[in-house]
Amino acid sequence: MNYSRPPLDIGIGQMKKALLDAKGRGVRLRYLTEITNDNISYHKELMKVVDKLRHLDGIKANFMISEGEYLAPVNLDEEGKIAPQLIYSNVDEIVEQQNYIFETLWSRAIPSEQRITEIEENKTVPRTEVLYGAENAVGRGVQFMKNAKKKMDIFFDSKAPSIVVEIDAYRNGYMEIRKGGGKIRAFTEITKDNIHYCKELIKIVDELRHLDGIK
C-alpha cells in the first residue's frame, strides 16, 4: 500500500473492523507500505491490528492479495479517498504473479519498528540494500548527497562523468555540497570519449584525478 492508504484503513471503521475480523479468524495479515513523518501515527495504530508491518521507500501502488484472490484500486489520483473502481481477480495465474511481486517487495522492506526509530530519533539505522530501477538509484544518490556535510569521495568508471554532468539532480547535488563547505574529490579514467565531460566535472568538484583501467 502507498503512504496514503494507512489513514483510510485505520480511520474508516468498516475497514479497520474487516482487518480485525480477518485476524480473529486466524488470517495472517502482512502490510507493506511507506512510513513517513506525516503518517507515522497511523502506522503505530496499524501495528496493533496486523501481524507484521514493513516499510519500503517509494511505494506507488495499492493492492491486496490472499491465497486465492487479488484486489486493487484503479484510481490513485485522489489522496485520502476510497477508489471508485477496483480490479478483482481469482484467476490462479494472476494471483500467483501478484503474490510473487508482493514477496519480492516484502523481502526488500525493513521492519516498521526500525523505520519508526529512524524518523523519531532522526537517525539512520545501519542497513545494506540493493536498489532497482533508474528512478530509485537517482533518488538514493540525491539523498546521499544531501546527507554529505564535510566531504564526498567518488570512485567511478569512465562512463560516469557524463551522467553526473547531464543529470541535473546529480550536478546540483555536487554544487550544493560545495556551497555548504563540503569538499568533493573524485577519480576516474579520463579518455578521449569522456574528456569533454571531465572538463565540466572539474568545475563542480574540488579535485579530479585519473587512473587507468577503472572498471
Model confidence at 99: pLDDT above 90: yes
Q: How would you classify residue 176: left for phi > 0, otherwise alpha for psi between -120 and 50, otherwise beta?
A: alpha
Q: Tell the burial category of 83 from Cβ atoms under 10 Å away from its Cβ (0-12, 13-18, 19+).
A: middle
Q: What is the pLDDT of residues 64-81, one digit of tens each?
A: 999 999 998 876 545 555
Measured on CA atoms in the order 182, 144, 201, 209, is the torsion positive or negative? positive
Per-residue confidence band for 11, with pLDDT thresholds at 50, 70 and 90: low
Cα–Cα distance measured from residue 89 to residue 84, given in angstroms and rounded to the nearest whole number: 17
User: What cell does 25 get?
Assistant: 479468524
Model confidence at 6: pLDDT above 60: no
Model confidence at 126: pLDDT above 80: no
Cα–Cα distance measured from residue 175 to residue 154, given in angstroms and rounded to the nearest whole number: 14
Cα–Cα distance measured from residue 174 to residue 202, given in angstroms and rounded to the nearest whole number: 11
Looking only at the bridges linking them, the beta strands covering 52-55 and 207-210 are: unpaired
Model confidence at 14: pLDDT above 90: no
Model confidence at 54: pLDDT above 80: yes
Cα–Cα distance measured from residue 126 to residue 167, given in angstroms and rounded to the nearest whole number: 28
Among 203, 197, 207, which Cα is nearest to 157's?
197
Model confidence at 57: pLDDT above 70: yes
CA distances to 15, 62, 86, 116 from 21, rounded to whole Å, are 10, 21, 22, 26
Record the pTM: 0.55
pLDDT at 29: 92
Model confidence at 164: pLDDT above 90: yes
Which residues are paired to 64 by β-bridges? 71
**Range with the largest mean pLDDT of 44-53, 112-121, 179-188:** 179-188
User: What cell does 33 get?
Assistant: 507500505
Taking CA 135 as the corner, what is the angle to CA 129 and CA 136, rounded to the nearest 5 degrees? Answer: 15
Average pLDDT, integer, range 116-144: 80
Mean pLDDT for the chain overall = 86
Name the strand (E) or helix (H) holding 157.
Answer: none
Name the strand (E) or helix (H) holding 155.
Answer: strand 151-155
Of 164 and 85, the one with more pLDDT: 164
Model confidence at 119: pLDDT above 60: yes
Model confidence at 143: pLDDT above 90: no
pLDDT at 118: 86
pLDDT at 147: 87
